[in-house]
Structure 1
Amino acid sequence: MAVMTDDDLIARLEDDERRLTFTRFDNADAWHLGSLLVDLATTRDLPVAVDIRRGTQQLFHAALPGSTADNDSWIARKVRVVERFAASSYLVGRRLAAKGDTLDAKYGVDPADYAAHGGAFPVRVPDVGVVGVVTVSGLPQADDHALVVEAIEAHLDVS
């Protein structure tokens, strides 16, 4: 199996964000998507916290066994990255790493407030923009990101 380069990973992440757009996003969508994430995580015995927001309103939150309050702090930091850059926290982090940059050095943000680590994914509606964020925290960053992508694909019925 070939090793994925930084450029390949970034291209895949960008493609995921182009593919995984919503026609609308309401409270029922947040509940369905959050429930999917909880089901996936519970089935796999994953110690994660799940958070879904539209704008500044938290529409869904679950803390599964093994997760801690620290996961909520990570969620808040990842969400801020998506809100600021309109891209997944993982994509922002991988773009920075590929250039040898860090979020705090390049943008002057406090690492206590922002985390460019995988797990927060934008809820994007065409011709509107980013309207919300779906976040998972508790696994290695690539796994947090992959779990969110898997659930969004199932919710949107795409792959």
Structure 2
Amino acid sequence: MGSSEEKITSSFKLLKDNEEWNLKIYCDDNKLKQQVSQNNAAIDAKRKEIKELPTGRQFFEKKKIDNLIESELENEKNRVSDQVHEKLKEYSIHADVKKNWTKDVTGLKENMTWNSVYLLPQAKVGSFLEEVKSQETELGDSGLRIEASGPWPAYHFSNFS
């Protein structure tokens, strides 16, 4: 059996009885930013520090808070996305993180924060989707929204080249 034939056979064995599912996380940055701004120890500490400064210095330091809030917003999006991904990987044979799409591609007002694919045994798809719902419930009204879709043709996990 030639090398190409072995790769094809191996790919078919991997894909048999498995499904590809996609997960995207979107973020309403303004909504999440408001929560991060109100519930973040680093930002609270900076605000307290600024109150002690002379009025003229407060103006410039408040600009630094805006930058800190943006940084903490990105940290929160990454933290939540990583946490969701790690939990969902438990159901998969293989998982991969893909490039985020822009608003021009998605047509949505929210930013895509996460884009991943999972190769799931068919027997675990139901549990995977239940975990997605559980994660959505946990996120509540944070400004982050999860969207799972599938099954898709397993082109992310097949290699016939």
TM-score (norm 1): 0.25
Q: Which of structures 1 and 2 has the larger relative contact order (alpha carbons within 8 angstroms, sep 6+)?
A: 2
Larger Rg: 2
